[in-house]
Structure formats: structure tokens, C-alpha cells
Structure 1
Amino acid sequence: MSVSFMNNHRKGFLLTTVGGLALSFDVPLVRLGQGEMWSIIAFRSITTFAVGLALWIALRFFGRARPALVSGKAGLLAGLCYGLSTVTFLSAVFHTATANVVFIVAFTPMFAALLGWILLKERPSPATLITMLVMVVGVALIVSGGLASGHLIGDLLAALTALALACAITIGHATRIEMGLVPLLATIFPAAVGFTFMSSGGFQIEAPLWVIFDGAVMIPLAFWCLATGPKYLTGPEVGMFYLLETILAPVWVWIVFREVPSLETLAGGAILVLALVGYSIVQMQRMDKIRTLAVPKGL
């Protein structure tokens, strides 16, 4: 194994660790803002959009690569999916427990595999199919807890978030278009929705600095690190670091707000996390075998 490969792997490990950690603070920061739902959606989204637009301008004037503001019809469609996911995700935070949201959104890669099978005729591997079935059991457990506690709407919004993100991922995979800035610039859509439904009294946020910090720093940092990670790591390896939000966000919320997940949520979340970890390990082993076979003998 070359020194260059090891250095790149460490770089990818560091980037994706930072990205996963930054993403895990999203929900706690939103809740610390203590605001009305549509005000939070509008304020957090317009802040992220401003940062994304500034990055695009900087890349256009100072970078070698000059990304388009909108990557054609595919980029616009993916942006709409990302925008919808922001609205449903933040709405879910206001309608169900944090653990429910992040555990259900963890179903995103399995939705993506299912859409790839239906739309792109990419048949999932047996490992993927088994993982999907196990994760359905986990999500069903969490949703059953939502039924009992009256949080069904929030759980369904979290599931819609996972589906919208999977649609955006599928579009990017099918078109192979560069979409690194799309999730940031797409926040103009949820910002418009938030401003539309916001009360006539303007922003109703008691601690806006938390929301500004989230939208201007943590979200762009998370998206950039996690989008850059695949340059140095395999897809399954990067997917492992998305689990940091799934695992850590409920911990931060428990520490700050003393919100204890229900037994159904904990059981379903444990099933989801273990299924994803097991799937990622299997995929990493498969990629190692492919790399080994691709290396010419005698080198």
C-alpha cells in the first residue's frame, strides 16, 4: 500500500469526520434558536444560501473550476429535491423527537438503492436487499412509537426527507453532473417557502445567533467535507461518517434539552445503525477485493 494512498485515506478520514460531527449539531442548534417553525426554516435557509452564493462567486472569480449556478434541468430538479428535504427535515424537528428524525432519515441510502433499482435498473446486491429489509423493521418500530405518542406526522415528514434526499442522490448518480454546491444553493427554495408562511410579524426567533451559526458555518462545513470525502474514500466508508449525526444528534439533544428517546425509538435506531454498519463493512470488504484484483501481479 503506497504512502500516497495512506495520506489520501487519512485526509478523507479527517474530512468526513469533521463533516459528520458538524452535521450532528444541526438539530441542537436549530432547537437552541427557540423560534417559530417557518421563521427558523426561512432564516436558516437564507443564511445557508448566502454562504453558498458567496462560495460560487469566489469559485467563479478565483478558482480553476467554474461551476454553473444551475447545472441544467437535472441540477434544478435535484435542487428542488434538496429544497424539499430541508423543509420536511426542519418541520419534522418541530413535530417529533430528534432521535426519531435522525434515525428515520438514516434510511436515505436504502431509498436511493430502491430508486436506482426501479428507475436506473441497477439491481441491488443481496447484502443491500437484506439490509433494506432489516431497516424497514427498524423504521416500523420507530413509527409505531410515533403512533402511540401522537408524533406520526413528524415521523412521516422524516421519511419524506429521506425519500427527497434519495431522489436528489439518484439524479446526481444518473447524470454524473457536478452538484457540490447544489444543496447549498437549493436552500433558496425552503427560504421562499418559509418567508411565504411566516407570520406578518417577521422573524420570531429568540436566539437567532444559534441559527445563523448553523446556517452560515456548520451546514456549509458539513456539506463541503462530506461532498469532498468521496475523492479519497469509498462510498461505503463515507456513508459510515453520515452515521455520526444519527448517533450523536440524540446525544447532544439529551445533554442540552434532557429529551429521552422512547424505547421503540432506541430499539429501532439500534437496528438501523447496526444494519448500516454491517452493510458498510461488507461493502468495504468488497471494494478491497476489487482493488486487490485490479492491481497487476508482480507490483
Structure 2
Amino acid sequence: MLFPTLSSHTKGLVLTTIGGLALSLDVPLVRLGDGDVWSVTALRSLTTVAATFILWFLVRRFTSSRPPLVPGWAAAFAALLYGLSSMAFLGAVFNTTTANVVFIVAFTPMFAALLSWLFLGERPGVSTLVTMAIMIVGVGLIVENGLSAGHWLGDLLSALTALLIGGAITIGRATQREMGFVPLIATVIPAAIALLMVVPAGYHVANPFWVMLDGGIMLPLAFWCLATGPRYLSASEVGMFYLLETILAPIWVWMIFSEVPALQSLAGGAILIGALVGYSLWQMRSRSRSLATPLSH
């Protein structure tokens, strides 16, 4: 049992902090690889697939849990969306600034809320709708800057990434199946497509160690920790730790590559982060109030 001396809430905080920190290193490690998009995609994805099978075997061998890799056809469709989102994300990294990528991808939970409303009939609350409207303003500022700077393709791919992940999350919510391994095994899709592109064009990754570190350790660690967090924390609390990537990734890239985000992108990112933090705090406060309210008989 992990961290046996800690309370459940503290365990959740530790796990999600580790997961958020690991996820924040994704973009810097991809860029440190210094390769073309298809070669990096192939290497990163193949390493993640290998790590997933090793992790799945260890879980089944040394614990009583028997999690399926892909639990059903709905999960297979979710895996397709996750796989396509991985390709869109890497395409965005190579076609716009890191700040633009992580700021726009932060819109994922709002896409998930919108899709759940459209397909599951889960009408979002007023706080969700207000947050969504504020975030649209922030994303609009970032995209407008991307258009003027010639980064429109990367910004579009970032938005597509958020939409695809939101769709996969909605499927998971609809099926209520255990999908912890689905985002990881889904990397077989970009791996296969990237290999088809690499074979005729040639392989080029100057520093493969960084890409393999990302795909083999950081991504599995991040997804496992963040997927385990909801066992101990509310969804709104877990969502706060996804913001570590939004906040820290541009800082790591600035420190390593001296890439300074445009002021308009920073302004849009500040609006996004502020909206998400406010929304998460409101959700936690509402949850605390509901738990504190005694049941009537």
C-alpha cells in the first residue's frame, strides 16, 4: 500500500502533485529530443507502449487487481480519440509556442463539460457556464496572437487536442468503466502512423534519451498518478493539479530554450488559469458545504 502512514487526503495530494509535475516536463523533454515530428512521435509512442505493457504485467502479477487494457468497444473508441489527441498535441508542439499549447489544452475540462451536456444530458451548472465563457475569452486572445504570429496551425492542433481528450473523457464518464490504461495503450495509434511516415522519410532524433525518458517514465507516471488521485480527492481538487503543466511547462521552456511567450498569450493564459482556479475553488467550497449540511429525516 502506498504511503501507509498518510491520510487518504494527503495521499491524494502527494500523488496528484507528482503526476502534475511529471506531466509538466512532457513538452520540454520532447523539445530536448531535437528531432522531426514523425521521428519524435514514433519514439515517444513506442516507448510509452512498451512501458504500458510492463506496468500492466507488474500490476497483474504482484497485486490482486486485474485491470483490462481496453474494457470494451466504447473504450476502444476512447483509445482512438486519445491516440489522435497525442498526434495533434505533438503536431502543436512543433508548430506553435509551448505557452500557446498548454494554455489552449487547458480548455479540455470545459470541452468535456460541453460534450457531456450535448451527449449525456448533463446540464452544466451556472459556475461551469460562466467559467467556460471566461475561458473562451482567454483562448480567443491566444489564438488571435497565434494568427498574427503565423502559429495558427499549432493553435488549431492544440484546440483539437483539447476537444479529442474531452471526447474521450465523456466516453469514460458514460461507460463508468476502468480506463486507467486506455490513454497509455492508445499511443499504439500514433506509433503505427508515425512509423509509416518515418520509414520512407528517414529517422532523425538527435537526443533520443530525453524522448525515451518522457515516453517511458514521465508520461506513464503522470497518467497513473493523476488517474489514481480521484480515489482520494474530489474531481475539482484533482483538476487543480493538471494546472501544474499549464503553469510550469512555459517556465521550463523559458529556462531551457529562452522562449519568452508573447504578452497577449500570457494575458490569455492568465485568464484561463484564473478561471480554472476560481472554478475549482468554488467546486471544493460547494462540496465542503454539502458534506457539512446534515441530512434531513
- The answer to whether the superposition gives a TM-score over 0.5 is yes
Whole-angstrom CA distance in 1 between matches of 2:102 and 2:274: 14
2:173 is the alignment partner of 1:179? no
- 1:107 to 1:294, Cα distance in 2 relative to 1, 3 A: farther
- Name the residue aligned to 2:73: 73
Aligned counterpart, 2:82: 82
Per-residue CA distance 1:109-130 (angstroms, 9 max, x = gap) = 0000000110000000000000
Distance 2:75 2:140 in 1: 33
Aligned-pair CA distance for 1:30? 0.2
Q: Give 1:196 shift.
A: 1.4
1:11 alignment partner AA: K
In the other structure, the counterpart of 2:283 is 283
CA distance in 1, matches of 2:87, 2:191: 9
Matched position secondary structure for 1:95: coil
Aligned to 1:120: 120
Task: Give the residue type in structure 2 aligned to 1:78.
Answer: A
Correspondence list, 1:130-141, <5 A? 130-141=130-141
Letter in 2 for 1:181: F
- Cα deviation digits, residues 13-60 of structure 1 (max 9, x gap): 010001000000000000000001000001000100111111222233
Residue 15 of structure 2 corresponds to residue 15 of structure 1:
yes
Give the direction of change, closer, same or farther, for the CA distance of 1:294–1:246 in structure 2 (3 Å limit): farther
The equivalent residue for 2:152 is 152
User: Are positions 1:203 and 2:203 aligned together?
Assistant: yes
Q: Secondary structure of 1:227's partner?
A: helix
Give the drift of 1:200: 2.7
What does residue 98 of structure 2 align with?
98
Q: Which residue of 1 aligns with 2:56?
A: 56
Distance 1:294 1:45, change over 3 A: farther
Give the 3-state SS of the residue equivalent to 1:139 in structure 2.
helix
Task: Give the secondary structure class of the aligned counterpart of 2:248.
Answer: helix
> What secondary structure, in the 3-state scheme, does the structure 2 residue paired with 1:267 have?
helix
Q: Which amino acid in structure 2 is aligned with residue 96 of structure 1?
A: T
Counterpart of 1:33? 33
Larger displacement relative to structure 2 (65-74 or 15-24): 65-74
Report the Cα distance in structure 2 between the residues aligned to 1:199 and 1:274, rounded to whole angstroms.
44
Q: Secondary structure at the match of 2:200?
A: coil
Alignment length, in residue pairs? 294
Does the residue aligned with 1:198 lie in a helix, a strand or coil?
helix
Equivalent AA in structure 1 for residue 163 of structure 2: L
Distance 2:262 2:145 in 1: 7
User: Structure 1 211/127 Cα, relative in aligned 2: closer, same or farther at 3 Å?
Assistant: same
Relative to 1, partners in 2 of residues 1:171 and 1:152: Cα closer, same or farther, differing over 3 Å? same
Q: Within 1, Cα distance between the matches of 2:228 and 2:69?
A: 19
Q: Rate the CA distance shift 1:287–1:34 in 2: closer, same or farther, 3 A.
A: same
**1:295 Cα deviation from its structure 2 partner:** 6.9
In structure 2, give the amino acid aligned to 1:151: H
**Cα shift readout 1:165-188 (whole Å, capped 9, x = no counterpart):** 000100000000000011111100
Q: 1:261 to 1:8 in 2, by over 3 A?
A: same
After TM superposition, give the deviation of residue 293 of structure 1 in Å: 2.5
Aligned match of 1:230 = 230
Residues 244-278 of structure 1 show CA distances to partners (whole Å, capped at 9, x for unaligned) of: 00000000000000001011100000000000000
CA shift, 1:294, in A, is 5.6
Q: Unaligned regions of 5+ residues in structure 1, if any? A: none
Question: Which amino acid in 2 is paired with 1:74?
Answer: A
Confirm whether residue 24 of structure 1 aligns to residue 24 of structure 2: yes
How far has the Cα of 1:202 moved from its partner? 3.8
Give the alignment's Cα RMSD to 1 decimal.
1.7
TM-score (norm: length of structure 2):
0.96
More displaced 10-residue stretch of structure 1: 113-122 or 195-204: 195-204
Question: Cα distance, 1:68 vs. partner?
Answer: 2.0
Secondary structure at the counterpart of residue 260 of structure 1:
coil
Paired with 2:38 and 2:122, the residues of 1 have a C-alpha distance of 38
Cα distance in 2 for partners of 1:55, 1:13 equals: 22
Q: Distance in 2 between matches of 1:272 and 1:294?
A: 35
Please report how far the alpha carbon of residue 291 of structure 1 lies from its aligned counterpart in structure 2 after TM superposition. 1.5
**TM-score of the aligned structures, taking structure 1 as reference length:** 0.95
| CA distance in 2: counterparts of 1:112 and 1:255, whole angstroms | 32
Q: Which residue of 1 aligns with 2:247?
A: 247
Asked if 1 retains the 8 angstrom alpha-carbon contact of 2:70 and 2:181, the reply is: no
